[in-house]
Structure 1
Amino acid sequence: MGSSTSSNNPQTTPMAPLNQIVFSQEPNGVTYRVPALIYLEEIGTFLAFAEKRSSPADSDAKYLVMRKGKMNGESVQWSPMHELQSVCLPGYRTMSPCPVYDKNNKTLFLFFICVDKTENEQKCSGINAAKLCYVTSQDNGKTWSNITNLTEKVIGQREKDWATFAVGPGHGVQLQSGRLIIPAYAYNICGCKCIGSCCQCKCTPSSCISGCTCYKCECTCCNPTPFAFCIYRDVGQEWKMGNQMPRSQSLECQMAEVLDHQGGKYLYCNARTKSDYRVEAESKNAGEDFEEKKSKLVDVKKSGCQGSVISFPRNDGNSGLLYSHPSSSTDRRQLGIYLNCSPRDPSKWQDPRVIYSGPSGYSDLAYIDGTESFGCLFECGEKDYHEKIVFVKLPINDVMGRTAAETRNV
């Protein structure tokens, strides 16, 4: 696709003709955040998930909501919103939707976490309050099973070493082998008793006040170390946990299987950080271990931002990667779509095409099988990125400004 250039130089392209508001902030302050998107090829339908909150704040999350988008030619027709109020544990908030579809058993899994404390409260106290849960659907999201709480079975004793954890957010992936992959991340604690006590604030191990300044402290006790990993299940087996990402601090992540024409394959991971650049890594054993690579993809300074990644097939038998993320390095603005047709080389990411130039935040991508196009569900707004969640359907070649043949054969 020509020479590779810096990912700090976005190129703006007009919004695609098909862009639809799927969730919108209500006059009473009710806000929808953290989108997740999955495409069910067998019925030609997107499922869009989000958190319903009484305000934009994480602490005001309530439960998950869902809408179905039926493909009708080149258009998508969205059903009314369905509130998944039963998808929760009593007394807990439901957050971080992460759907994945098992094609072998025609079963839709919806993973999420249930929490009753904020992330900062957990990080300050060093006591995890998150539960790893999922529900399933055998009818493409019409009805859902009872909740399965996997925390004890999958996380087990390691929960005592974590301040908190979460899945995704955004979609999981099924590998060619049939293995299901759920991206996740956690915060390690050091295990000592000084959590909160060395900070210049009024927090205690059991509470964390609003406006906490703990994380200005350099002590690792007050700054639990985050790491990405995955939860996986092979056909007919139990859910298990892979090993943590080495070295770099990695947060919210997504994963994609990358194939080459010679039959090789590996699992790619793209993770949020608190540094200037993303973490990219690959796993040669389907998510059990990861090896990091030096990335040129920028993250939003200081806090970072969630991003999404998918793979797509090319005519030469290799996979390409698409990645969505705010392309501004200073704040959450200018949602960009990035392309890498040589995924093993992190230097081959092309400059992003910006599909929304204003405030924009979390996003999720879904490839539309057999169409050379994809959907993107993302947060955006005029003044704040949490004003609405918009769906855009785009041909891969249009986003990159190239013909279909050029995109496939780079």
Structure 2
Amino acid sequence: MQTFARHSDDHGVTWSDPIDLTEVARDMHDPNWRASVVGPGGAIQDRNGRLIAPVWKVVPYGVLAIYSDDHGQTWERGELMPGSEGGDENQLVELADGQILMDIRQTGGPNRHRVTSRDGGKTWSPPGPGEAVTPVACAIERYTLQSAGDDRNRILWTGPKGPDRTHLVVRMSCDEGQTFPVERPISAEHAAYSDLTILQDKTVGVLWERGVEQGYQFITFTRFGLKFLEPDP
């Protein structure tokens, strides 16, 4: 399996020639490192301009990040998360203090993994427990930031509450990803993978897999604002 990067200068209408990142995303000298996968979801750009993309390897499973300091022209591979076997589909968000938080699907337990990096994705802390959720790819995104003029720091997370891949919810953290006490239902139907984005008007966009009999029949876009998360008392 190969890894490529492309960029678009016209909002996705056309795309550049691919850059082959296979030898960056994967340790070609490790015979047990069979492939690297980027996503689902997307990369982030931190406050220093670094592009950071979440990567997971197979088999055995493990998670890491690749990063670029020249707007995607060249990339480097960070270290594997310590004790990362059993983790795969991972997502990133920058915290208010500049750390990078990685939220990781764990295939062998009821909770997701959560780790942080203080060096822009080069190295990672040991894993701690994240949200309790059906094993599936989930999304995490910065919503508001005090240093950018917002009233408080907020991070959003979406995923199926269950049982199994059903009942998609959005959860909100106001303590930089330590806890996600606010939960709002998006759908009671079958739901699988999801992704988050913040639109120019500060509404939240969720792109997610939905179905009546199983969670892969439709791709649905849902949009909501802060009042959905924090309704008037």
TM over 0.5: yes
| DSSP 3-state at the match of 1:338 | strand
Query: 2: CA distance between counterparts of 1:176 and 1:351?
Result: 27
- Answering whether residue 99 of structure 2 is matched by residue 234 of structure 1, we say no
Query: 2: CA distance between counterparts of 1:381 and 1:141?
Result: 27
* AA partner of residue 67 (structure 2): Y
Residues 279 and 292, structure 1, Cα contact 8 Å, conserved in 2: no
Match of 2:211 in 1: 381
Match of 1:258 in 2: 95
Residues 26 and 36, structure 2, Cα contact 8 Å, conserved in 1: no
**Paired residue for 2:80, among 227, 241, 244?**
244
Sequence identity percentage? 24
CA 1:305–1:178 in 2, change beyond 3 Å: closer, same or farther?
same
Match of 2:188 in 1: 357
Encode CA deviations 1:180-221: one digit per residue, 9 max, x unaligned.
Answer: 01111002xxxxxxxxxxxxxxxxxxxxxxxxxxxxxxxxxx
What's the C-alpha RMSD, in Å, of the aligned pairs? 2.0
For residues 5-404 of structure 1, the aligned pairs below 5 Å read 130-158=1-29, 160-187=31-58, 224-235=59-70, 238-248=74-84, 249-259=86-96, 264-274=97-107, 275-300=109-134, 304-315=135-146, 319-328=153-162, 330-343=163-176, 345=178, 348-369=179-200, 371-398=201-228, 400-403=229-232
Residue segments in structure 2 that go unaligned for 5+ positions in a row: none
Residues 325 and 336, structure 1, Cα contact 8 Å, conserved in 2: yes
| DSSP 3-state at the match of 2:129 | coil
Residues 26 and 35, structure 2, Cα contact 8 Å, conserved in 1: no
Query: 2: CA distance between counterparts of 1:363 and 1:344?
Result: 18
Query: 1: CA distance between counterparts of 2:215 and 2:70?
Result: 39
Shift, 1:296, TM fit: 4.7
Residues 258 and 319, structure 1, Cα contact 8 Å, conserved in 2: no
Query: 2: CA distance between counterparts of 1:159 and 1:178?
Result: 31
**Which structure has more helix as a fraction of its residues?**
1
* AA partner of residue 9 (structure 2): Q
Rg larger in 1 or in 2? Answer: 1
Residues 184 and 253, structure 1, Cα contact 8 Å, conserved in 2: yes
| DSSP 3-state at the match of 2:88 | coil
Encode CA deviations 1:19-59: one digit per residue, 9 max, x unaligned.
Answer: xxxxxxxxxxxxxxxxxxxxxxxxxxxxxxxxxxxxxxxxx
Shift, 1:314, TM fit: 3.7
| DSSP 3-state at the match of 1:161 | coil
Query: 2: CA distance between counterparts of 1:153 and 1:343?
Result: 30
Higher relative contact order (CA 8 A, sep 6+): 1
Residues 327 and 352, structure 1, Cα contact 8 Å, conserved in 2: no
* AA partner of residue 272 (structure 1): R
Number of aligned residues: 227
